[in-house]
Amino acid sequence: MALKNANILVVDDEPDVLVAVSLLLKTKVRSVITEKDPENIRHLLSKESFDLVLLDMNFRSPVHTGNEGIYWLNKIKEWAPGTPVMMITAYGDIDLAVRALKEGAADFIIKPWHNDRLLESIRELLQEHHNKPVKSKTTADRDVFEEITADSEVMQDIFFKIKKIAPTDANILILGENGTGKDLTARAIHHQSLRNKGPFIKVDVGALTESLFESELFGHRKGAFTGANEDREGRFEAASGGTLFLDEIGNITLQQQAKLLSVLQNRQVTRLGSNTPIAIDIRLICATNLPLATLADESKFRKDLIYRINTVDIVMPPLRKRNGDILLLAEKFLESYSKKYFKVRPELDTGAKTRLLNYTFPGNVRELQYAMERAVIMADGEVITAGDLIFSPLEKMPEANEKAGTSHNLKSVEKHTILKVIEKHNGNISRAAKELGLTRTALYRRLNKYDI
């Protein structure tokens, strides 16, 4: 790969280093992104595909051991396994450099560096990586399913479905509550697909304003609007040959839906400020936390777009329905955060395990993850008790909501029953209607009646 075509991410908590690297590279590469907080690495990797990461060895530690860099190196390998990482260290310690290379780093450079030498090292690394064969699909399969920690029967069904549909080019809609793993599932589908050598581009379309929507997705020409100082390809073009993942698809406006539908039907985009259509070749995956019944409301979402994006749907189960996975995930997070914060890995006592199993996790896996991180940070000993577990006050307990909403009003009871049965069947209207003793048409009438 030529240096001028490279996208490079630089992560270092020294602002002077970031400025120096940015000034050196900005005229020689396609783009250079700098970041001082390694906690933002995953977000950056989800937004864009990088050809190289320059990573500091030491972050926020009074003793510079290099462990911090090793931790984040392993995380980058986990989140973007095909991306080469060049380590930056201020110490010419050969043992530390060898350790980084053994852990999977592609190269290392010592601060302060000579600019010509750094550029040459980057050129060589990009060329070497470009010519390197992609790892076997068997290994890729194993890695991606190890990322989704699960042993429950309901999640094994999800894995089976992924294996069946991933090799096809079918458009997929992933449904589920916030924190259930829709992002990881989309990545698993991509890595199991025949497009796994191509890019995986994620866009949180729900966060895009009206003015940014077209520019971000379809690209723009120089001068198309104020601030458009150069031509820019959109996410559809960037994902060509691979997978485009549109997250929070249920939150876009009807006007945005119309523009998206046109692109999907014609399989081409036209950049803002241009009249020339550009053909695209993508596999589309969308996700939303809204139930399918809500999306079926045509005053909020176009039904023709639903059919276009939903050749196959996957309904991610909430954590409270994944019997057997809670403790498995808790142990995984304990292991991960113990390494991150350089602490002895604590054990869960019986009381802590009981509390975890009895909690409903309205925030799902994400809430469990944060609870385990807090527990590791605050633990004084090597055992975590029930009292050490603090759950997020931002989440509302489903049981509390149900008790507060208890009513003997006939309409309230019917609405509550319908909601419970639909949730039980993960949004499957046919199964819900059958259990309720209704036809699908009759159930849809009640959904409209109660504005569900």
Per-residue pLDDT of the chain (452 residues; tens, 9 = 90+): 678 888 999 999 888 889 999 999 988 888 899 999 898 998 898 878 889 999 988 776 544 455 778 888 888 988 888 889 998 876 555 566 667 787 888 888 877 788 888 898 898 888 887 665 544 434 444 445 567 888 888 998 899 899 889 999 999 999 999 999 999 999 999 999 999 999 999 999 988 887 789 889 999 888 888 777 888 889 999 999 999 999 999 999 999 999 999 999 999 999 999 999 999 999 999 999 998 888 888 888 999 999 999 999 999 999 999 978 999 999 999 999 998 888 889 999 999 999 999 899 999 999 999 999 999 998 888 899 988 898 877 665 544 343 334 445 566 677 778 877 776 776 677 787 888 877 877 777 777 676 66
User: What is the model's pLDDT at position 366?
Assistant: 92
- Rounded Cα distance between 239 and 241, Å, is 6
The alpha carbon dihedral of 27, 31, 32, 35 has a sign of: positive
pLDDT at position 140 is 42
Q: What is the distance between the alpha carbons of residues 359 and 349, in angstroms, rounded to a whole number?
A: 16
The verdict on whether omega for the bond into residue 81 sits within 30 degrees of 0, i.e. cis, is no
CA triplet 191, 195, 200: central angle to 5 degrees? 65
Q: Are residues 244 and 236 in contact, defined by beta-carbon separation less than 8 angstroms?
A: yes
* CATH architecture of the domain with range 405-449: Orthogonal Bundle (1.10)
pLDDT, residue 451, reads 62
Please give the structure tokens belonging to residue 65.
């051991």
Going from N- to C-terminal start, the domains of the chain cover 3-131, 139-315, 320-388, 405-449
CATH class of 3-131: alpha beta
What CATH topology corresponds to 139-315?
Rossmann fold (3.40.50)
Please tell me the predicted confidence (pLDDT) of residue 406.
45
Q: Residue 440: CB partners within 8 Å, gap ≥ 6?
A: 429, 430, 433
Instruction: State which CATH number among 1.10.8.60, 3.40.1550.10, 3.40.50.2000, 3.30.360.10 fits the domain covering 320-388.
Output: 1.10.8.60
- Quick one: which of 267, 270, 253 has its CA closest to 208? 253
Q: What angle do CA 373, 379, 383 make, to 5 degrees?
A: 105
- Identify the pLDDT of residue 144: 53
Q: What's the pLDDT at 356?
A: 93
DSSP letter at 245 equals E
Q: Under 8 Å CB-to-CB from 281, ≥6 apart: which residues?
A: 240, 241, 267
Q: How far is CA 449 from CA 418, 428, 434, 441, 444, in A?
A: 12, 19, 19, 12, 8
SS3 state of residue 282 = coil
What are 293's two structure tokens? 């019944």
Same fold for the pair 3-131 and 139-315? yes
- The CA-atom distances, in angstroms, between 116 and each of 16, 21, 119, 186 are 18, 12, 5, 40
**Computed from CA positions of residues 412, 414, 420, 425, in that sequence, does the dihedral angle turn out positive or negative?**
negative
